[in-house]
Amino acid sequence: MTRPSTILQMDTTPLAKEGAWTAYLDDETTGLIYYFNSDTGESVWDPPTDTFPEIKLNKVKEQKMKDARLAYNQERLGMGVEVEKEEKKGFFGFFKETTDPVVEEVVEEVVEEVVETTQEKESANWFGGFFGKAKSETVETVQEEEEEVMQEVEMVQEEEEYYDQSMFEDAVMVEEEQETTTAKKSFVQDIMAFTSFPSAKPKEEEPVTIAPPLTFEIGSKVLPHPEKISWGGEDALFVKGRSFGLFDGVSGAEKTKGVPLYSTTLASQLKAKIETDQALAIEDIKRDLLTAAEYADFKATGASTAIVASIGEDDVMRSLCLGDSVLMVIRNGMVFSKTKETTHYFDCPYQLSEDSPDRPRDGTVLTTRLMPGDKIVTGSDGVFDNLTADDIIRIIQENEAAKATTIAQKIVAESRTVSLDKEAPTPYAKQAKRNRYKEYATGLGGKVDDISCIVVSVNA
């Protein structure tokens, strides 16, 4: 999960570095390695690039990591918070891998103690209890101790049930196999049954409360480049039922006059193919986008980036991003999740066209479980070249009660205003200066372009 502009720990010794990205150890809280971008203030848990150097820890830092993980797990176990028992993996799903071994170790240690205690009592009192030669006091003591054993086993089970990592879930949901201690628990129960001690009664299942499905309001706005207003510009989008898509025509691509644009062809083909109430899986999105691209290869001209998303009946949004358009989920005034752009180099995004090798399979995937109050903002580079995430969050907060269409219009209007300001500090100007564009030598100035935006308001 992206965490804007915050370094998570006190020890700022870098573990590895590539470009603006630096790896640190969060030895204050989670005991995990995270990656911080000194230019954007962005923090992520996964390596930001495929080429990021491998992390190697010395013994001191490795021990710090283990200690922090153990302390974090113990703190979570002691909070007493009731957690939904739904098997998921998402944005914080990686905690499952790092914390489960600790819980399993605790469970195994406790159960081993239970078995050893039972065996000791068995050797000391077995013959007396079985053949009736032990004194009544001994039998009562054994009974009390056996009840304590069962209580310990139940406590272990409760801890297992409590430590459900679904509370750390962000986006991607994965089914995971669960290990159990059935064999060890069965051994204790067999001993209890053989010695005629009463076994613990199973707990009654609590009624499951099913939350009503979320509702969605979708609004959009397209504003052409000032020089392209007469023919509508090169950005296109569609909204249909639970699905939507945004396509940014590549201005530098060669075009044939009188032939439909690639971006508008993609939008019209997908809108025609998708059913109104249809919720698309990632594979559906890839397949439908590929079909539309193959059609556009023969019937359209130019090139286009693409970002397509669909909200399932399970309230999970699934999206595919090819190029430099962006989709982000805003939750509680912060960027909760965000697509990853795909570019060959600066100002050359992945794109679909007859001459391009890029295909939908090359895009990045984002899956997020939505919550009431979320805002999904999807925009072309005309938005995100000129506005920062903080700018967009501010616009949303200033228009919290407004309709989704109004928010989209506000975002597009401010993007255009900034794009015409040659002294504005913009994300594009910052990158252009880094890449030695002479017109952006000061690191200031907007970028005039077609601007398109889709906003989804998520309601209970």
Question: How many other β-carbons are positioned within 10 Å of the β-carbon of residue 177?
Answer: 5
Rounded Cα gap, residues 50 and 364, in angstroms: 13
3-state per-residue secondary structure call for 237-248: EEEECCEEEEEE
Contact residues for 315 (Cβ-Cβ < 8 A; gap 6+): 213, 214, 369, 370
Q: How far is residue 183's CA from residue 189's CA, in Å, rounded to a whole number?
A: 10
Residue 17: the pLDDT is 86
Between CA 217 and CA 223, with CA 220 as vertex, the angle to 5 degrees is: 170
- Rounded Cα distance, 312 and 367, in Å: 11
| Coil, strand or helix at 343 | strand
Q: pLDDT value at position 116?
A: 47
CA distance 226 to 357: 31
Instruction: Give 331: exposed, middle or buried? Use CB within 10 Å, 0-12, 13-18, 19+.
Output: middle
Name the nearest CA neighbour of 237 among 265, 256, 260: 265
| 311, 316, 322, 326: CA torsion to nearest 10 | 90
Per-residue pLDDT of the chain (460 residues; tens, 9 = 90+): 444 444 444 456 788 888 888 888 877 777 788 888 877 777 787 888 888 888 887 888 788 888 877 877 777 665 544 434 344 444 344 434 444 444 344 444 444 444 444 444 444 444 444 434 444 444 455 455 555 545 554 554 444 444 343 333 333 333 333 444 444 445 545 545 544 445 555 566 667 667 778 999 999 999 999 999 988 999 999 999 999 999 999 988 889 889 999 999 999 999 999 998 889 999 999 999 999 999 999 999 999 999 999 999 999 999 999 999 999 999 999 999 999 999 999 999 999 999 999 999 999 999 999 999 999 999 999 999 999 999 999 999 999 999 999 999 999 999 999 999 999 999 999 999 999 999 999 999 999 999 999 999 999 8
Neighbouring CB atoms inside 10 A of 172's CB total 18
CA-CA-CA-CA torsion for 371, 377, 378, 380, nearest 10 degrees? Answer: -160
Q: Tokens for 279, please give them.
A: 């919720």
**Tally of CB atoms within 10 A around 232:** 13
Tokens of 202: 């199973």
Cα 63 to the chain's mean position, in Å? Answer: 29
